Amino acid sequence: MSSILMLNKFTISVFPSYLLRKSFFILRRNALQGFSVAIMATASPLRKLVDEVLCSICLDYLKDPVTIDCGHVFCCHCIIKVCESAQQPLYCSLCKTAFKEENIRHVWQMASIVENIWRMKVDAERQPREDRPLEQRAEQLCKQHLEKLHYYCKDDQQILCVLCRESREHRHHPAVLLEKAAQPYRGKILNHLKILKGDRDRIQNFQSTREDEIQTLLAKLQNHRQDTASVFERGHQFLREREQYLLEWLEGTEQQLTEGRNSHVTKGSEEVIRLETLISELEKKAQQPALELLQDPSDITSRYPRKKFQIEKRINPAIRKQMEEFSDKLLCLEKGLRGFHGKLMRDLEYKTMRIILNSQTANGYLSVSPDGKSMMFTGLWMNKCQHGQQFDPEPGVLGSKGFTWGKVYWEGKVDRIWWEAEEEEEAVRYRAGSRGMLGSNDLGGFIGITDGYPSPGCREENGELEEEWCQENGIWPKFCLVGVARESVVRRGFLNFTPEEGFWTLQLSSAGVSICTSPEPFQILSYCPRQIGVALDYDAGKVTFTNARTQEFIYEFSSPFTGGIFPFLWLNCRRSRLTLRP
């Protein structure tokens, strides 16, 4: 305490003006804390050593220690500042002994001692908390001075004790109390904590809701599994009952035939035995001499009558009728199963799509409805803008949406079809009158060409002459194409509608159904359904065509697909319309 008061008097006389601004505050604070510092210093030997290596001027660890004439040690920087600011003679701040500036000497051993003490203090701070002294366990202390931390330096962003704050590194920096400095950070933490808690609560609520939804879906799946097994079991039971009924019917008919056959065999055997007896008697009679034969000249036929042979009776007509009825039932069964199979496959595995036509791809002779569900061949070029994706001169159009995966299904319906009676007569007259001029290639019964559109896949060199003749006589070809096409197909000029060119279509006409192959179409049906179902399985590379009304199989293309696959329609028949369903 006395040393501190002595230092106070000395610093007033020798310290420069910039150091006197806080000198009274420092000395007063040190006087108030002197007793607590002394008590804490006696509590630990290390604390005593730390006090011995502190500079009495800057109150920090000795840096580059030097000694003066009286033997006291100070920081070299501090003692030089004292020499520069004080007047002669110079006095020691501790013992008031005069000293000369030229007698200041470095104490290298003291520098090593200061460093070792500092390292011992750092090592002591690193030891486990339970091994520290009781006063250090209660609160965190400054690592350099082992003082309680009170301040926060805003410039250096460091936590300071009282001694650190008054050291030359921080004495000119703004410092605030820890609690005040921590308030903005605590506010940020609390705000961010609120956000994180909100995120956690939302995630927990989402997980809870999702878990409830998953449990509900799992329960529905279990119910669906049971319902599916029940539905198929009822179906299996129905089919087994129908199978049993038909088998019993066959068994009854077979039993009737077997019983009739056995009865006829028995009666025939009995009749054969009787006849063999009569034959034997008559053979013996025929071998008799004339004298014996004439002794009994009665009528042979009356004595050996010829009975009607029952086995010659025809099979019961009722049985024949039952067999014919069963054949009809079997055909109906096969047809019904095919339709059931097709409908079940379509409804369960394929997604029914609502197809819309892309009017920008439609040829100028086609009129697409405003809803994009149907198109008509007008025979007249519509005044519309030319598009690079438009078919020209082919009267074709693509769907607005393509497919690159999955299984999809749609239907195409032909309205006001062309094979009515009077149109057939017109077609016959056309074929008879134009065969010599147009050649023999009529596409296996397909009706002529007009307006520059010959039959798909079979172009003739004299197309212009055919177009003029057809226009003059008012004859229009009567066929259309239904199917799919690759997005990258050529849309300019006359095309071959074959899989090699990117088209998978059926050709519908009054003669039936054909597939477009090179060099000529190949007919597969002699009649033409009014409603065609198109099933596209992109991943398997299949396009399947069925009769949409009966679900009967018509044809299937199998080819790996690349790029987008679009619905495709082609119509070159006046007064007819192609409509997409649904």
Quick: pLDDT tens for 542-558: 999 999 988 888 999 99
Q: What is the pLDDT of residue 335?
A: 80
Say if residue 457's pLDDT is above 80: no
Of the segments 65-69, 84-88, 310-314, 463-467, which one has the largest average pLDDT value? 65-69
Strand, helix or coil at 479? strand
Domains 2-173 and 351-581 share a fold: no
Token look-up 């949409």 returns 548
**CA pseudo-torsion sign 17, 23, 24, 25:** positive
Q: What is the pLDDT of residue 483?
A: 96
> Using CA atoms, how far apart are residues 102 and 83, in angstroms rounded to an integer?
11
Cα-Cα-Cα-Cα torsion 431, 432, 437, 438, nearest 10 degrees, comes to: 20
pLDDT for res 167 = 84
Mean pLDDT across 563-569 = 95
Q: Is the peptide bond before 395 cis (omega within 30 degrees of 0)?
A: no
Q: What is the mean pLDDT of residues 504-520?
A: 87
Q: pLDDT higher for 425 or 117?
A: 117
Judge whether residue 21 has pLDDT over 60: no
Ramachandran bin of 482, using left for φ above 0, alpha for ψ from -120 to 50, beta for the remaining angles: beta
Q: What is the pLDDT of residue 196?
A: 93
The predicted model gives 182-192 an average pLDDT of 90
Mean pLDDT value across residues 152-176: 86
Q: C-alpha 433: how far from its chain's center?
A: 59
Residue 8 pLDDT exceeds 70 = no
Return the pLDDT at 125. 62
Report which residue type is found at 139.
E
Q: What is the pLDDT of residues 221-271, one digit of tens each?
A: 999 999 989 988 998 898 899 889 888 888 888 888 888 778 777 887 888
pLDDT of residue 451: 38
pLDDT at position 476 = 38
Q: At what angle do helices 45-52 and 108-126 cross, to 10 degrees?
A: 140
pLDDT of residue 367 exceeding 70: yes
pLDDT higher than 90, residue 218: yes
DSSP per position, 239-303 = HHHHHHHHHHHHHHHHHHHHHHHHHHHHHHHHHHHHHHHHHHHHHHHHHS-HHHHHHS-S-HHHH
- Against a cut of 0.75, is the pTM above it? no
Stretch 19-35: mean pLDDT, rounded?
Answer: 41
**Residue 358 in this model has a pLDDT that exceeds 70:** yes
The answer, yes or no, to whether residue 499 has pLDDT greater than 80, is yes
Question: pLDDT grade, residue 330 (50/70/90)?
Answer: confident
Which stretch of 65-74, 427-436, 488-497 has the lowest confidence by average pLDDT?
Answer: 427-436
Q: Which residue has the higher pLDDT, 433 or 235?
A: 235
Residue entry with tokens 């006409």: 509
More confident residue, 212 or 118: 212
In DSSP terms, 523 is beta-bridged to 514
Percent of the chain at pLDDT > 70 equals: 74
| 23 pLDDT higher than 60 | no
Task: Specify the pLDDT at position 54.
Answer: 84
Q: Which has more pLDDT, 210 or 139?
A: 210
pLDDT at 304: 66
Q: Among 85-99, 308-322, 473-487, 498-512, which is the least confidently predicted range?
A: 308-322
Instruction: Tell me which of 71-75, 88-92, 467-471 is least confident.
Output: 467-471
**Cβ distance 398 to 488 under 8 Å?**
no
DSSP H stretches of helix in 133-174: 134-138, 162-165
Q: Is residue 99 scored above 60 in pLDDT?
A: yes
| pLDDT surpasses 80 at 392 | yes
The owner of tokens 């879906």 is 217
Query: What are the tokens at 95?
Result: 């013992």
Q: Does the N-terminal peptide bond of residue 89 adopt cis geometry, omega within 30 degrees of 0?
A: yes
Asked whether the predicted pLDDT for residue 529 surpasses 70, the reply is yes
Per-residue confidence at 404, pLDDT binned at 50, 70, 90?
very high
Per-residue pLDDT, 406: 93
pLDDT in tens, 283-304: 888 887 877 777 776 666 666 6
**Angle of helix 317-349 relative to helix 178-287, nearest 10 degrees?**
170
Domain boundaries, the chain: 2-173, 223-313, 351-581
Percent of the chain clearing pLDDT 90 (strictly above):
25
> Confidence class of residue 369 from pLDDT cuts 50, 70 and 90?
very high
Q: What whole-number distance in Å separates Cα of residue 194 and Cα of residue 187?
A: 10
Amino acid letter, residue 253:
T
Question: pLDDT: is 25 or 219 the higher one?
Answer: 219
User: Using 50, 70 and 90 to split pLDDT, how confident is the model at 420?
Assistant: very low
Residues 6+ apart with CB under 8 A from 417: 528, 530, 576
* Matching residue, tokens 């019964």: 445
Whether residue 157 is predicted with pLDDT greater than 80 in this model: the reply is yes
Tokens of 111: 């520098």
In degrees to the nearest 10, what's the CA dihedral of 184, 189, 195, 199?
170
The class (CATH top level) of 2-173 is alpha beta
Question: Can you tell me the mean pLDDT for 429-450?
Answer: 33
Query: Which pLDDT score, from 0 to 100, does residue 314 have?
Result: 65
Strands (E), 511-564: 512-515, 522-525, 531-537, 542-547, 553-558
Cα separation, 566 vs 484, whole angstroms = 5
Torsion of CA 414, 416, 417, 418, to 10 degrees: -140
Average pLDDT, the chain: 76
* Least reliable range by pLDDT among 290-299, 409-418, 426-435: 426-435
CATH fold of 351-581, please? Answer: Jelly Rolls (2.60.120)
Confidence of residue 444 (pLDDT cuts 50, 70, 90): very low
